[in-house]
């Protein structure tokens, strides 16, 4: 890890240390459950996706992922998804790497598994760049990873995740939020992932699953950051 990456990861780990406070964790998750996108179509589609009975790589499921990404604002403003046929082709091209990680859970990654998992996750990050047309691929790829690996990958967005880790004083569309170069986007994703990996060890997030969003530990971690941001605005 380069010195710059190391500094960034240390900074991110300092950020998540605020969640050592169990009372704060409960307050943040309660805030998300009560106030975040209540009745939103994105919530409905997300539940449909997690409870889908058709195979993960079937056309029907990939179509549902594509639609859910749109509901999660991945086909508006600065984001532009590829059409469904192109999106499906990219997903299937990376099927083997998805399958390699499908049994991993962020809260149970052991030391022996750690490096190989990151290596495969990196391959997927680069392999999924053709799911969207914009240069800033980080958010779209992160959400796609979560939808196919819901127990391992935490979804990322600009408004909550990146503003938490990168700071409130940056503009969400600035290069400081999402670097232009894809390898720099991977480094940012990796450091956020490693931070969530450490955060997952702090508490038993299986006990914090709410009735709306918290269907798995990665989404509970996402909910935690969302709730913290909502409470502090």
The answer to whether residues 231 and 25 touch, using CB atoms and an 8 Å cutoff, is: no
- pLDDT given for residue 227 in this prediction: 94
Domains in the chain, number: 1
Give the tokens for residue 8: 């960034």
- pLDDT given for residue 178 in this prediction: 86
The answer to whether residues 139 and 181 touch, using CB atoms and an 8 Å cutoff, is: no
- Is 117 strand, coil or helix? helix
- Is 81 strand, coil or helix? strand
Which ranges of the chain have pLDDT less than 50?
175
pTM above 0.85, yes or no: yes
Burial of 160 from C-beta contacts in 10 A (0-12 / 13-18 / 19+): buried
The answer to whether residues 49 and 147 touch, using CB atoms and an 8 Å cutoff, is: yes
- pLDDT given for residue 215 in this prediction: 76
- pLDDT given for residue 168 in this prediction: 57
- pLDDT given for residue 5 in this prediction: 66
The answer to whether residues 213 and 188 touch, using CB atoms and an 8 Å cutoff, is: no
Write out the residue range of the structural domain in which residue 38 sits: 3-231
The answer to whether residues 132 and 82 touch, using CB atoms and an 8 Å cutoff, is: yes
Residue 49 CA to residue 62 CA, distance in Å, equals 9
């Amino acid at each position: 890890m380069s010195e710059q990456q190391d500094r960034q990861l240390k900074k991110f780990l300092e950020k998540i240390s605020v969640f050592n406070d169990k009372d704060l964790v409960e307050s943040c998750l309660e805030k998300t459950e009560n106030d975040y996108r209540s009745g939103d179509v994105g919530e409905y589609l997300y539940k449909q996706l997690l409870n889908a009975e058709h195979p993960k790589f079937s056309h029907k499921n990939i179509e549902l992922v594509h639609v859910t990404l749109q509901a999660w604002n991945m086909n508006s403003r600065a984001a532009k998804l590829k059409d469904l046929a192109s999106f499906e082709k990219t997903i299937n091209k990376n099927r083997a790497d998805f399958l390699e990680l499908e049994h991993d859970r962020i809260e149970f990654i052991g030391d022996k598994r750690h490096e190989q998992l990151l290596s495969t996750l990196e391959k997927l990050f680069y392999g999924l760049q053709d799911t969207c047309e914009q240069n800033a691929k980080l958010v779209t790829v992160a959400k796609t990873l979560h939808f196919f690996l819901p127990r391992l990958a935490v979804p990322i967005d600009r408004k909550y995740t990146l503003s938490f880790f990168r700071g409130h004083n940056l503009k969400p569309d600035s290069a400081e939020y999402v670097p232009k170069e894809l390898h720099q986007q991977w480094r940012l994703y990796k450091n956020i992932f490693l931070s969530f990996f450490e955060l997952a060890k702090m508490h038993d997030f299986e006990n914090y699953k709410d009735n709306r969003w918290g269907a798995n530990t990665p989404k509970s971690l996402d909910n935690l950051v969302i709730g913290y941001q909502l409470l502090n605005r």
